[in-house]
């Protein structure tokens, strides 16, 4: 996000909005010699399967980029500092890390998190692993601007912050899950500079959450002791202690419950062995899954997983899946010459430390069959230099099976086109399977970095939903050449949407959509009879040609079954304008004041 806070009390004033274009960061240095505790199973090299070949092994060592600590481990702070120094500004680097803490109590730590770094506890409950200290994200590397603090995460820990408040100043793709903060949480950088996040789920913050300069935020199925302020768009579903509904002044959208949720799978220790916990589905969820003790769900031993390392081929990953194993992707970059194909119900594909899939020759990175209960979680898909028709396909075209009892979940799966180098894809994510839950994604056509330009990293569509009964909770989609979200499935629902239109459109003609000026950020097909959305925002910043006009941010058929609640559009600094919010409804943006135009209810 390139935009300044509009909460001047918190920010100390505004400035000209722009996310500074960065040059490609140098590749990360070789892995620091970490303090690694491997899993109990013995590592084995991938084997090619065939007639008479040995089956692939399950379980194994988690590799050199997974650092596992216990309270007696010497030099923990020094290791954390070494990883942070490597990753602090490596926005498009190749380093990937998972920092895992065994159950117990740790004292005097400050885990500063840079790019592609995940920190997590290894207990069944966050309270099993307590850090008397902080897990910190700040923006010193970028002059106090937190709008590029992407691709990092915290999960399954209890924190007792040193000064009573933990700082988590992040932008997109930085989930905060299953965390217990025994104090407050500050979502702004030091100095209250620009900030554009973010996402919290299944967490408890005993004190007050203070967004300050954060422009938008989504919090799901959590407990908060209080919430300090709002800038443009703060959305809550199933959150105990959330502020009352009041959009647009202040802009709080508050749903008492989340319609359907199922928390992300996570790695934990059972004695000396690793297992992966699979939380159960909840309907009309509210509050955390773990507040009453052990969460509800099932678990799988690590021996049921093929523990993949960078360098393994798609052929081997598919052989492991065909053999009946799940996939655990350890940190690193995986180049694919064919799709990874998930054809078995209830398969888990779990990434650690922002494991990254790159389709090299125009293939789809990952395809899921029309089967129940697949869980995709915790990895990044980076488009390759040859155009892919899609990067992630959930269900084949025409998928029609009923998955209401056991849906597919896509959680903390992020997609990037360009930025780290040349990348192209016609459509990034396609959801064909019914009842799929997309729970927190950032689908991003890069606006800075390497391999960036209107045609250089061409990507027409961000997310396309053709399946019925799909639910999105925490949908971040930005900068696509045409529609960012295109929804043709029936009975779709979205709780929270954040969008920017592509900055780099060269002129009005480049975004002309027939007789319509500009492509909507979120378009519901004319054929759809039922759809609903809560807390949706779209921003424009046409810095190449500031005269570009968007007829609207949102487009949908006007009928009783299609309903939207709490919509906004914003022109950032007057670089381009919206004529309406949705269809022909809502006031136009005007001038350079960066003030949202809102619609409380549509139609």
Would residue 500 show up in a list of annotated catalytic residues for this protein?
Answer: yes
Strands 471-478 and 492-500: parallel
Partner residues linked to 218 by β-bridges: 199, 235
Task: Write the DSSP string, 482-542.
Answer: S-SEEE-STTEEEEEEEEE--TT--SGGGGEETTEES--SEEE-TT---EEEEEEEEEE--
Catalytic residue among 155, 263, 500, 579: 500
Q: What would the two tokens of residue 564 be? A: 């939207």
User: How far is 298 from 277, CA to CA, in rounded Å?
Assistant: 6
CB atoms within 10 A of CB 31: 18
Residue with tokens 């793709």: 173
CB atoms within 10 A of CB 549: 16
Q: Is residue 87 helix, strand or coil?
A: helix
User: How far is 363 from 426, CA to CA, in rounded Å?
Assistant: 11
Q: Counting every residue, how long is the chain? A: 603
Task: Write the DSSP string, 35-48.
Answer: -----SSPP-----
Query: What's the 3-state SS for 279-308?
Result: ECEEEEECCCCCCCCCCCEEEEEHHHEEEE
Structural contact between residues 39 and 273, judged by C-beta atoms closer than 8 angstroms: yes
Q: Which residues of 184-209 are buried (b: 16+ CB within 10 A; e: fewer)?
A: bbbbbbebbbbbbbbbbbbbbbbbbb
Q: What would the two tokens of residue 300 be? A: 């799988």
Structural contact between residues 130 and 103, judged by C-beta atoms closer than 8 angstroms: no
Structural contact between residues 274 and 268, judged by C-beta atoms closer than 8 angstroms: yes
Closest to 441 in 3D by CA, of 397, 482, 486, 498: 498
Structural contact between residues 140 and 146, judged by C-beta atoms closer than 8 angstroms: no
Catalytic positions, please?
A: 500
């Amino acid at each position: 996000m390139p935009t300044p806070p509009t909460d001047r009390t918190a920010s100390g004033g505004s400035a000209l909005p722009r996310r500074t274009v960065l040059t490609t960061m140098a590749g990360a240095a070789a892995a620091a010699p970490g303090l690694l505790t491997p899993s109990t199973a013995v590592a084995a090299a991938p084997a090619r399967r065939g007639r008479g070949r040995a089956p692939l092994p399950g379980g194994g060592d988690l590799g050199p980029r997974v650092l596992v600590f216990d309270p007696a481990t010497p030099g923990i702070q020094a290791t954390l500092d070494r990883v942070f120094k490597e990753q602090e500004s490596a926005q498009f680097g190749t380093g990937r890390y998972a920092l895992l803490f065994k159950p117990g109590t740790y004292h005097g730590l400050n885990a500063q998190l840079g790019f592609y770094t995940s920190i997590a506890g290894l207990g069944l409950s966050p309270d099993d692993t307590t850090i008397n200290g902080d897990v910190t994200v700040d923006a010193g590397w970028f002059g106090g601007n937190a709008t590029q603090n992407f691709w990092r995460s915290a999960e399954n820990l209890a924190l007792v912050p040193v000064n009573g408040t933990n700082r988590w100043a992040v932008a997109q793709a930085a989930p905060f899950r299953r965390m217990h903060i025994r104090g407050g949480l500050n979502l702004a950088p030091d100095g209250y500079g620009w900030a554009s996040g973010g996402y919290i789920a299944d967490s408890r913050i005993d004190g007050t959450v203070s967004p300050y300069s954060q422009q938008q935020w989504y919090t799901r199925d959590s407990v908060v002791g209080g919430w300090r302020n709002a800038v443009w768009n703060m959305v809550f579903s199933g959150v105990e202690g959330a502020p009352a509904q009041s959009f647009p002044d202040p802009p709080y959208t508050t749903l008492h419950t989340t319609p359907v949720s199922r928390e992300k799978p996570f790695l934990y220790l059972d004695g000396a062995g690793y297992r992966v916990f699979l939380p159960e589905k909840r309907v009309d969820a509210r509050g955390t899954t773990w507040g009453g003790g052990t969460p509800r769900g099932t678990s799988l031993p690590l021996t049921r997983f093929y523990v993949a390392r960078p360098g393994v081929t798609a052929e081997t990953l598919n052989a492991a899946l065909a053999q009946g194993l799940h996939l655990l992707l350890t940190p690193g970059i995986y180049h694919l010459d064919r799709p990874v194909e998930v054809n078995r119900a209830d398969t888990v594909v779990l990434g650690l430390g922002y494991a990254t899939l790159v389709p090299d020759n125009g293939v789809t990175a990952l395809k899921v069959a029309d089967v129940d209960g697949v869980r995709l979680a915790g990895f990044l898909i980076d488009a390759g230099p040859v155009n892919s028709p899609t990067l992630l396909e959930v269900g084949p075209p025409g998928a029609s099976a009923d998955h209401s009892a056991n849906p597919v979940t896509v959680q903390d799966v992020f997609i990037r086109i360009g930025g780290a180098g040349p990348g192209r894809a016609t459509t990034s994510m396609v959801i064909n399977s019914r009842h799929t839950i997309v729970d927190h994604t950032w689908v991003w056509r890069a606006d800075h970095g390497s391999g960036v330009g209107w045609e250089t990293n061409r990507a027409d569509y961000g997310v396309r939903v053709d399946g019925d009964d799909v639910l999105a909770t925490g949908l971040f989609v930005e900068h696509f050449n045409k529609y960012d979200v295109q929804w043709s499935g029936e009975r779709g629902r979205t709780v929270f949407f954040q969008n920017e239109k592509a900055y780099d459109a060269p002129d009005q003609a480049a975004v002309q959509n027939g007789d319509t000026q500009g492509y909507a950020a979120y378009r519901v097909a004319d054929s759809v009879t039922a759809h609903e959305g809560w807390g949706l925002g779209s921003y424009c910043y046409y810095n190449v040609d500031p005269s570009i006009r968007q007829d609207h941010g949102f487009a949908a058929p006007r009928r009783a079954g299609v309903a939207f609640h709490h919509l906004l559009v914003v022109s950032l600094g007057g670089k381009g304008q919206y004529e309406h919010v949705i269809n022909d409804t809502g006031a136009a943006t005007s001038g350079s004041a960066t003030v949202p135009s809102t619609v409380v209810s549509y139609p």
